Amino acid sequence: MTRTVYVNGEYLPETEATVSIFDRGFLMADGVYEVTSVLDGKLIDFEGHAVRLERSLNELDMPAACSKEELLEIHRQLVTRNEIVEGLVYLQITRGSDGDRDFVFPDPETTKPTIVLFTQNKPGLADNPAAKKGAKIISIEDIRWGRRDIKTVQLLYPSMGKMMAKKAGADDAWLIEDGHVTEGTSNNAYFVKNGKIVTRPLSNDILHGITRKAVLRMAEEAQMEIEERLFTIEEAKEADEAFTTSASAFVMPVVEIDGVALGDGTPGPIAKRLREIYLDESLKAAI
């Protein structure tokens, strides 16, 4: 089946979808994105992603390409047309193309944003074997720019981080700045010690994860103790367990950091419980 994608108002076969070579997303990484998961053919936390998208656009002085209602309709159309039961919807909005290359932003009156959405079919996303095994991570320096709260498409360093992890025989990397963990290459980072969940507080240093927000709320509702503070990789290595959260992997247990096994080296009870609660609750609220 040829995938149907959405580009600037049209649903097209992926082979016929095009964007200008002058698009600022392509030339300058001048664009933002969202990844929304699909379970049971329904969107998980669409509202959260739509609100964060609006914030990212505002922070970059970029016009909205369409309304929230239109966005929801496009997401649903793509899920239906591509028969996605479990998977992801990727959305990208860039500042568009004014037909040339210039550092100065084009006039938004004459240059319209580019909007692209496509689906990724991922059967087994919820029942992911990787979550049963847990992830091995390494730590690397965080050399990204200072506005990580904006979900821009500048993903070169996160990609390099994943490659460094792969080369080291690990699954992913956590990023360290000024001696403290910021987040994972594409997820938020947590450790658990004596039953308490520790994670970095929100600031411009990390992405304000939609899954983070939901998981912390659910952890609180389940009477789990949470502390939002800076933490070092050494603390995480001495933890009872650790995990990450993201829209694409939900709650992913971490079983090893820089070659040091956490606990007995298998996914910890709190991470496993939070994954269960998150999947359960999110499915109930999916639209």
The answer to whether 183 contacts ligand PDD (rule: CB under 6 A) is: yes
Q: Give the distance from CA 154 to its chain's centroid.
A: 13
Return the closest-CA partner of residue 105 out of 18, 7, 27, 34. Answer: 27
- Measured on CA atoms in the order 203, 207, 211, 215, is the torsion positive or negative? negative
What positions carry a catalytic annotation?
Answer: 151
In the beta sheet, which residues pair with residue 141?
176
CB 64 within 8 A of CB 109: no
Contacts of 185 (CB under 8 A, 6+ apart): 158, 159, 161, 162, 165, 172, 173, 175
User: Per-residue DSSP letters for 195-222?
Assistant: TEEEEPPPSTTS---HHHHHHHHHHHHT
Q: Whose structure tokens read 């998977």?
A: 87
Of 119 and 187, which has the nearer Cβ to ligand PDD? 187
- Region 200-219 residues binding ligand PDD, contact defined as CB under 6 A: 207, 209-212
In the complex, what is the shortest distance from the CB of residue 257 to ligand PDD, in angstroms, rounded to a whole number? 17
Out of 19, 27, 35, 230, the only residue in the binding site for ligand PDD (CB under 6 A) is 35
Among 54-62, 116-124, 163-171, 180-188, the segment contacting ligand PDD (CB under 6 A): 180-188
Q: How far is the CB of 86 from ligand PDD (least distance, A)?
A: 15
Among 24-32, 118-126, 162-170, 179-187, which window interacts with ligand PDD (CB under 6 A)? 179-187
By beta-carbon proximity to ligand PDD, the closer residue of 75 and 212 is 212
Out of 4, 187, 199, 282, name the contact with ligand PDD by CB under 6 A: 187
Query: Residues touching ligand PDD: how many (CB under 6 A)?
Result: 14
What residues contact 47, with CB distance under 8 A and at least 6 apart? Answer: none
Q: Name residues contacting ligand PDD, limited to 214-253 (CB under 6 A).
A: 245-248
Does residue number 28 form part of the binding site for ligand PDD (CB under 6 A)? no
> Considering beta carbons, is residue 192 or 210 the nearer one to ligand PDD?
210
Positions touching ligand PDD (CB under 6 A) are: 35, 183, 186-188, 207, 209-212, 245-248
